[in-house]
Amino acid sequence: MELPRWRFMSGGQTSAPVTVRASGGGGGRFGAQTSSTGESWFLQFYGLKIAVAGSPQGAYGLLRAAIAHNNPVVVFDHKAMHLRKGPLVRGDDRLAEIGKAVVVRPGADVTVVASLLMVHRSLEAAEALASEGIDVEVIDISWLRPLDMATVSASVGRTGRLVVAEEQYHDGGWGASIISRLATAAAPLATPPVAVSMPEILISHSPPLEDAMIPSAERIAEAVRSVCR
């Protein structure tokens, strides 16, 4: 992982305009070998920008922004979303803004911050909860570095409640980073934040066990209900 250090070590004389696209995620019945998402592992390599696509439009905009950038970027997408269809508008004006999260569903009661496949499942949960009178705001975090705490903090400031949804282990992940930053900033939370993440075991070859491990829309919905009680 020397690429993120080139500009610094050369005193700004050398850049590394390299984009790496990485696909991962569970649900494909590949067991423990190729089912991890792995995006938070790269947070330890400072100087590397990290993008996580939560929709077809996001994948397009993030990848084009990464290619246009003059420093190394890793763009993650989820294998389960490769065949997913959705709105897509092409063009030079559709490049994602580096370091900017996207509010994909406005709401007033609870903030849910998600990445990759969990964006879609959070939207499913939000639609189900609307019938219960719970208005959920869903944020596609889009970038893990730079991390858009301004958008997250503004949302939490309105709702007073936070759920993070990630298909990875919570410890050392971006969800833990968001909760930590809000805590140290004394964010005005009405209830303790809740993390919906993976249990600390390897993904099984058993389809029912794999499905039980990966956060579902219902698990996200139940987490939202818990912070509203």
The whole-number pLDDT of residue 134 equals 98
Helix, strand, or coil (residue 175): helix
- The per-residue pLDDT for range 85-131, each reduced to its tens digit, is 888 889 888 889 999 999 999 999 999 999 999 999 999 999 999 99
The whole-number pLDDT of residue 192 equals 97
What is the CATH topology of the domain spanning 3-94? Rossmann fold (3.40.50)
The whole-number pLDDT of residue 29 equals 85
Whether residue 61 is predicted with pLDDT greater than 90 in this model: the reply is yes
The whole-number pLDDT of residue 195 equals 98
pTM of the model: 0.95
Report whether CATH 1.10.760.10 matches the domain 102-228. no
Confidence of residue 36 (pLDDT cuts 50, 70, 90): confident
Closest CA to 94 of 73, 63, 125: 63
User: Is the model more confident about 55 or about 84?
Assistant: 55
For the chain, percent of residues with pLDDT exceeding 70: 100
The whole-number pLDDT of residue 28 equals 84
User: How many whole angstroms separate alpha carbon 84 and alpha carbon 76?
Assistant: 15
Q: Which residues lie closer than 8 Å to 53 by C-beta, 6 or more apart?
A: 59, 62, 63, 75, 76, 77, 78, 81, 116, 142
Whether residue 7 is predicted with pLDDT greater than 90 in this model: the reply is no
Identify the sign of the CA torsion 141, 105, 154, 99: positive
CATH 3.40.50.970 range(s) for the chain read 3-94
- The per-residue pLDDT for range 125-154, each reduced to its tens digit, is 999 999 999 999 999 999 999 999 999 999
CATH 3.40.50.920 range(s) for the chain read 102-228
The whole-number pLDDT of residue 42 equals 92
- The per-residue pLDDT for range 148-189, each reduced to its tens digit, is 999 999 999 999 999 999 999 999 999 999 999 999 999 999
